[in-house]
């Protein structure tokens, strides 16, 4: 299938759309995406994305990110509001994350605060007591 495929009238679904902000690009402002976005350039401002925001190893984001999932392999400074966040071994996040699920790989860097969306964070003692009561 070529870039200019005239033989197909079907449109891609929102989940298959990915916008690429390539290395060397600088974008400032409020950005909104229906699909996903992959950032290898620099973005300053707010990003609102219905699916996945991926910050590649050369990507830099300063501002607020709201998305279903955020994958960081570059640098992010600001606030993030998402269901799931992954900080990969080459990634660094500085700021505040509001999340349901977080993964930080070895050598991934996180500096800041986290807030769990789905309720109260349990202490180790509370989790142990709950485990003993149910099991």
Residue 72 lies in a domain: yes
In this structure, is residue 73 part of a structural domain?
A: yes
Whether residue 7 is contained in a domain is answered as no
- Number of compact structural domains in the chain: 1
Per-residue pLDDT tens for 103-131? 999 999 999 999 988 755 544 455 556 55
Q: Is residue 60 part of a domain?
A: yes
Could you report the per-residue pLDDT of 9-60, keeping only the tens digit for each? 444 444 568 999 999 999 999 999 999 999 999 999 999 999 999 999 999 9
CA distances from 64 to 6, 47, 81, 99, 104 (A): 38, 6, 8, 14, 19
Percentage of the chain beyond pLDDT 70 is 76
Contact 56, 75 (CB under 8 A): no
**pTM for the structure as a whole:** 0.77
* Residue 53 placed within a domain: yes
Position 74 pLDDT exceeds 70: yes
CB contact set of 13 (below 8 Å; sequence gap of 6+): none
On whether residue 6 sits in a domain, the answer given is no
Longest Cα separation, the chain: 63
Q: What is the DSSP string of 49-93?
A: ESSEEEE-TT-EEEEEEEEEEEEESSEEEEEEEEEEEEE-TT-EE
Residue 52 belongs to a domain: yes
Q: Is residue 85 part of a domain?
A: yes
State the residue range of the domain holding 37.
14-134
Q: For position 16, what pLDDT does the model report?
A: 67
**pLDDT score of 70:** 97
Residue 131 CA to residue 51 CA, distance in Å, equals: 34
d(CA 39, CA 130): 42
């Amino acid at each position: 299938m070529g870039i200019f495929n005239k033989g197909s009238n079907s449109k891609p679904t929102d989940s298959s759309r990915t916008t690429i902000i390539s290395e060397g690009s600088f974008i400032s402002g409020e950005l909104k995406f229906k699909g996903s976005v992959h950032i290898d350039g620099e973005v300053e401002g707010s990003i609102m994305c219905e699916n996945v925001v991926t910050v590649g190893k050369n990507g830099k984001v300063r501002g607020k990110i709201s998305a279903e999932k955020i994958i960081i392999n570059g640098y992010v400074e600001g606030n993030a509001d998402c269901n799931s966040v992954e900080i990969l071994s080459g990634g660094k996040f500085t700021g505040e994350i509001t999340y349901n699920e977080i993964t930080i790989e070895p050598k991934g860097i996180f500096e800041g605060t986290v807030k769990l969306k789905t309720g109260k964070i349990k202490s180790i003692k509370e989790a142990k007591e709950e485990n003993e009561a149910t099991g």
